[in-house]
Every structure is written in structure tokens, then in C-alpha cells.
Amino acid sequence: MTEHIKKSLRDSTAARWTALVLASLSIFGAYYFNYALSAIKPMLESILGWNSSEIGNYMSSYAWFNVFLFMLIISGFILDKLGIRKTGLGATVVMFIGTAINYWAVSHHFPDNAVVHLPLLGEMKVQVLWSSFGFAIFGVGTEATGITISKAIVRWFKGKEMALAMGMQMAIARLGTALAVAISIPLAKKFTVTAPILFAMTVMLIGVISFISFSLMDIKLDKSEAVPEEEKSEENEFKIRDIVYIIKNRGFWYIAILCVLFYSAVFPFLFYANDLMINKYNVNPNLAGTITMLLPFGTILLTPVFGGIYDKFGKGATIMIIGSLILVFVHGVFLIPSLRMWWVAAAMVIILGIGFSLVPSAMWPSVPKIIPEQRLGTAYAVIFWIQNIGLWAVPLMLGVVLNYTNPDVSPNKKLVKGAIEKAFSETLASAGYTPKEINRTIEKATGSAVDSIVQYSHYEPVLSGRVDPAKVENEIYTGIIQNTRNINLSGDKDVVTAEVIKAAARSAYQTIKKEKLNLRYNYFYDILIFLGLAILSVLFAFLLKMEDRHKGYGLEMPNIQKTEE
């Protein structure tokens, strides 16, 4: 047996870390696309006419099939039955298919009155429904890939630098998140709102190729650890009754509930973070992603560091408590209405990144200490399923609350777009612009007008009941027509387009500011929800530590096993 262990491919440092990088790249694109559209929330409202409730529905759709069709639980069964390679390859292909459907939905033109009525969700635009359907399929593939990679890391790093490896995997994946919040708005403004999705499809294909490469290495690992048939034990084969063992384990439930609470206070926050920076802290939309990017970028650097600390020194349960407390502090500061300086937001995002590095770096490597390896696929699947309940319910709730507490913002944005659309359809059509060119120009002008109000204006908006929408829309329309009369529309199209956009934005800005139209979201109640989730995560982190003391799981012990010479 000693001879067999020495010949294992995973004993090669270069081999196991190469395998880790290849496996991690397969989910890099998923983390990018997960935040690609949420990062451009203002543009989805201004250009596509989605409101906050519809965007909340879209974000929550990620978990539709995972939660209600139990696809995550099924994925866990499949993983423990078929193994890492087959499950992972199928999952990465499903991610690409879901992204492609989403791209078609967002790029396709649907009539404005094309809506459907769904149980629980109510009325939904057909475009939002199809986009959500694609995102739901993408979610199935992403979560299946996630549990597959988690089990793969346990396989390659058991008894070695497991927490560091899981930290590195999360760091590589969150490079995708950082990329999404940083470049999605510039990409969409430079090209169209579909550009971030098209980029995601390209990265997703690279992920499929990367997982195939990992699978080839995993086959070599099998050959290096070939065990004679007489040494194989039926105890290592997954059985359905194993799930009973999992759900009866109190420590498992504490870590699963901590997972859903903690991630629900962070991931949905990232969905809305760019919009929060723009609306509360008056950050330039082109730079909002730079501040938000500090969170995933911080985790990229710190999660492996904290994972290495857990490997060498232990204290996993304590690390999770500290990370949850940091979350409470950060959301508490975000809740203070008077703190509206951009540097405060940047500082809180950095601190949040520290907390977001601490908990996952200890939580995921702690699961194998509570659940035996042959049950890990199902155990991770159940945890991810519970997490997906939060990723479904919390964004949905946040969107409804944001829409309910800011009832006039979305209609006012549609009003602005309607005025610009009417003026440009008349002005640019006569100048030989194609319908596609007119739509592109309307998108840019609408975004520019709304962004300028949110960024530069500090007036107290009037209540929606005191605004005459028809009057304001006509005033914006008339102003644009007047301001564009002095522009030579027969000149170079690029120059003409830039001048027309500036004239429209300037005219709309003057009217909106004079009428004190509300275009700014107040995130107070949404942040209050995040704070409540953070407080509950602290409670369950303490319960997990107490259970560890009682059952002796070893969560406070180091992961690296010292071998005797």
C-alpha cells in the first residue's frame, strides 16, 4: 500500500496544481456570466425597459430548475454514480447552451406588449422569460460544475493543501466575477447590451476545452492509483440511503444554513453593487465596476492565503465566525444614509472582500471533515441546493422591495427613453439612418441622459403623483428637436451621432432637473435585508463551532496531515 501511495500522480506537486488550474478554468466563464447582466442593470432598464422586479426575476431564475426540479440533488447523484469526468463535461456543455439561449433572448426584438402570466411571478415580458429560461439552464450547468470541481479537489488534494487548493479554485473563478463587474458596462456602451453575453459564450467554450484537458489528467491519476479488484470495497460506492445519513447530521445542517445565509448576503449584493455605487454614491457608471471589482479581486488574493492558514493552523470554525462578523459591520455601514462618499463605499467593499475570503476558505474544506468522501458529491449537492434556495428567493425579494420602495424610478426611465425614441425616429430617419442605427443611437442617448442625472444632480425629487408624464415627455421631445436643428445631419455619421447624443442628453438633463424627476434608487431597505442575513450567519457560525466541540469533527484542526518518515 505504501508503494501504491508513492506512485500516485497527485503526489506530484506540479501535476495536482495543473489539474486544479484546468478544472478551475472550466467555471471561470460561469462566474463571469453570472454577473454580466446584473452589472449593466441601469442599461437593462433604460434600453430594454426592464424594471427592478423583472431584473430580480431574471437574477432569481438562475436557481429555478436547481431548486424546484431538484436538479442540484440529481446532479449530486449523477456525480457519485458516473464520476467527475462525465458529470463535469456534461455540466460545462449545459452552461454554454444556457448562455446561448440567453444571448438569443436579449438580442431578439420582442413586441413591447409581448407578456405572459406565470404562477407566483405574475406578468412577465416574453424577452425576460426567455432570458430567464436560458439563465436557469446555465444555472443547472454551473452548479453541477461547482460540485464536480469540489469533489475533484478533494480527490486530488486529500491530506495535502486542500483548503489552499479550494481557495485557489475560488480565486480563479472569481476572476470571472471581477471581470464581469469591471468590463460589462464599458463593453455594453461600446457595442450593445448583448456584447457581455457574446463574450461569455466565447469564454464558456474555452471552459469546455479546459475540462476535457483536466479529464485527460484525471484518467492518468486513475492509472497511477490502480487498485486490484480484491482491494476495492463496496463501502466506497454511493447508495441512496447515504442521503439519510447526510440529512440526519446536525453539523451538516449548520454549515449548509450558514452557507445559504452568508452567500445570500454577498452574491445578490454583487448583483446590485454597481447600481448602488451609481445611485447612492454618485459614482460615474463607467467607474462603478472598478469599485465593485475590489470585492472579488480581494478574494482572489486573500482566499488562498486564508485557506493556507487553515491548512497549517486550523481554526476553521473561528475563521467562519470572524468572516460573518465582518459582513455585519460592512452592511451596517452601507445602511447609514449620511455616508455617501465614494471612498467609504470603496473601503467597505474591500473589507467585505476580506470577510468573503474568510468564510469560504474555511467552510468548503470543512465539509469533508463532517461527511465521508463517498458521500461528498451528494453532500455538496444538498448544500448547493440549499444555497440556491437563497439565490432564488433573495434576488427576487430584493427586486420586489426595490421596485415597491421606488415606484416611480422605472416608469420615469421609460418616459425618458420614450421621448428620445420619438425625437430620434423623426430626426435620424430623415438623415438616412437605418432602424438598427437609430436604435443604437437611442440606447446611447438614453443611457447618457439617465447617467448624467444620477451622477451630477442632487435635487430632492418630487413624488410621482405630482409629475405630469405626458407633459414632461413632450418637453424632453421638443427640447431634443430644437437642439438638433443646428446639427448638420448630412455630415460624417460618427460625428453626427456623437453630436446628436450630446444634444439629446443635454436637453433631457435640463428638463429632468427642472421637473425634479426621480431617476435615483434608494437601496436602504435592500441593505437592511442584507444586514439581517449577515446577523443570522454569525449565529449559525457559532452553532457550528459548538457542534464541532461536541462531536469532534476537527474543524479547528489543521488540514495537512504530517507523514512519518
Q: Are 135 and 392 in contact (CB under 8 A)?
A: no
Which residues are CB-neighbours of 473 under 8 A, at least 6 positions away?
415, 418, 419, 422
Per DSSP, the residues of 247-307 read HT-HHHHHHHHHHHHHHHTTHHHHHHHHHHHHHHH---HHHHHHHHHHHHHHHHHHHHHHH
Per DSSP, the residues of 387-398 read HHHHHHHHHHHH
How high is the mean pLDDT of the chain?
83
**Spatial CA neighbour of 64 closest among 127, 136, 149:** 136
pTM over 0.85? The answer is: no
- For residues 339-353, one letter each, b for 16 or more C-beta atoms within 10 angstroms of the residue's C-beta and e for the rest, the string is eeebeebbebbebbb
d(CA 278, CA 124): 26
49 grid coordinates: 425597459
CA-CA-CA-CA torsion sign (342, 347, 349, 352):
negative
Judged by DSSP in three states, 125 sits in: strand
| Residue 93 neighbours by CB distance under 10 Å | 16
Q: Are 79 and 91 in contact (CB under 8 A)?
A: no
pLDDT at 513: 85
d(CA 122, CA 51): 14
Q: Are 8 and 187 in contact (CB under 8 A)?
A: no
pLDDT at 370: 85
pLDDT at 100: 94
pLDDT in tens, 263-307: 899 888 888 888 888 888 888 777 777 888 787 777 777 777 887
**Spatial CA neighbour of 186 closest among 287, 103, 91:** 287
**Spatial CA neighbour of 297 closest among 186, 179, 183, 199:** 179
**Spatial CA neighbour of 315 closest among 540, 163, 166:** 163
Q: Cell 427642472, residue?
A: 514
CA 226 from centroid of its chain's CA atoms: 40
Q: Residue type for 260, please?
A: V
- For residues 251-287, one letter each, b for 16 or more C-beta atoms within 10 angstroms of the residue's C-beta and e for the rest, the string is bbbbbbbbbbbbbbbbbbbbbbbbbbbbbbbbbebeb
CA 560 from centroid of its chain's CA atoms: 32
User: What is the chain's percent helix, strand, coil content, to nearest 5?
Assistant: 80, 0, 20
pLDDT at 254: 93
| Residue 558 neighbours by CB distance under 10 Å | 16
Apex 237 CA angle, 233 and 240, nearest 5: 140
Helices (H) and strands (E) in the chain, counts: 22, 2
pLDDT at 2: 43
H or E segment and range at residue 122:
strand 122-125
| Residue 301 neighbours by CB distance under 10 Å | 11
CA 251 from centroid of its chain's CA atoms: 27
Q: Boundaries of CATH 1.20.1250.20 in the chain?
A: 7-224+247-406+522-551
Q: Are 481 and 427 in contact (CB under 8 A)?
A: yes
CATH class of 7-224+247-406+522-551: mainly alpha
Judged by DSSP in three states, 149 sits in: helix
Q: What residues of the chain score a pLDDT lower than 70?
A: 1-7, 112, 119-122, 226-242, 373-374, 377, 464, 559-565
**Spatial CA neighbour of 316 closest among 306, 325, 328, 329:** 306
First to last CA, the chain: 15
d(CA 310, CA 558): 6
Q: Are 424 and 500 in contact (CB under 8 A)?
A: yes
